[in-house]
Amino acid sequence: DPAMTTLLEELRGIMGCRPRIALVEVRDLATPATAGWRRPVILLPAGWRSWDDSARRAVLAHELAHVVRGDYAAGLLAQLALALNAFHPLVRWMAGRLQLQQELAADALGARYAGGRARYLVTLSRLVLEQDGWAPSWPVRAFLPRRGALIRRIAMLRDEAKTGTLGRTRRLVAGASLLGLTVTVGLLRGPARGEE
């Protein structure tokens, strides 16, 4: 869609997003998402054509914020840590916290380029209501925000609270620390021993 591509390029320039980004429509997706960090792709649900201009701008600004911040790489590190230590409650908590912080930070940055927090909040709420009842499949579920995250996102936007976001270097250090914790916990377990 030429209008959507033009809007994407305009927002890329304003937000200082360097990589070229592809837009792809995915029929089995109910919510927009971003995948990849070297060649990012913004995935749009089939119903995106019914969105008005403010919804399109808000969605693209939010997804571009994830690209600008480098959230995909940190998310992959968190998923790797979870795969290696799914049983460990601290690893699960840290991965969930990282994902929530990424969404809050993308909301804060996206709202700045989507016409302000009030307009962004209305658009976010409307899009969430449109996907009511949709249950994502397993591979998608791993990268989507956890239950309850939407309430926190709305509260942050409504109250204009500070998100306390981390810079790119600190996010990568946090992701590497999470991975290091995973490896350390894995090494501490040791082999199982029977009674002697």
Consecutive H or E run containing 159: helix 149-159
Least confident window among 41-55, 150-164, 169-183: 150-164
Least confident window among 8-12, 43-47, 128-132, 136-140: 136-140
Query: Which pLDDT score is estimated for 162?
Result: 45
Q: What is the rounded CA–CA span in Å between residue 150 and residue 145? A: 8
Q: What is the rounded CA–CA span in Å between residue 144 and residue 140? A: 7
Task: Judge if pTM exceeds 0.75.
Answer: no
As a whole-number percent, the residues of the chain with pLDDT over 90 amount to 25
Consecutive H or E run containing 188: helix 168-189
Q: Are 109 and 65 in contact (CB under 8 A)?
A: yes
pLDDT confidence of 141, banded at 50, 70, 90? very low
Which of 37-46, 56-65, 151-160 has the highest average model confidence (pLDDT)? 56-65
- For 70, 82, 174, the CA distances from 45, given in Å and listed in that order, are 22, 27, 31
Q: What is the rounded CA–CA span in Å between residue 138 and residue 14? A: 35
Q: Are 134 and 88 in contact (CB under 8 A)?
A: no
As a whole-number percent, the residues of the chain with pLDDT over 70 amount to 76
CA-CA-CA-CA torsion for 136, 141, 146, 150, nearest 10 degrees?
Answer: -40
Residues 13-26, mean pLDDT to the nearest whole number: 92
Query: Which pLDDT score is estimated for 23?
Result: 94
Phi and psi of 41, rounded to 5°?
Answer: -130, 130
**Residues in the chain, total:** 196
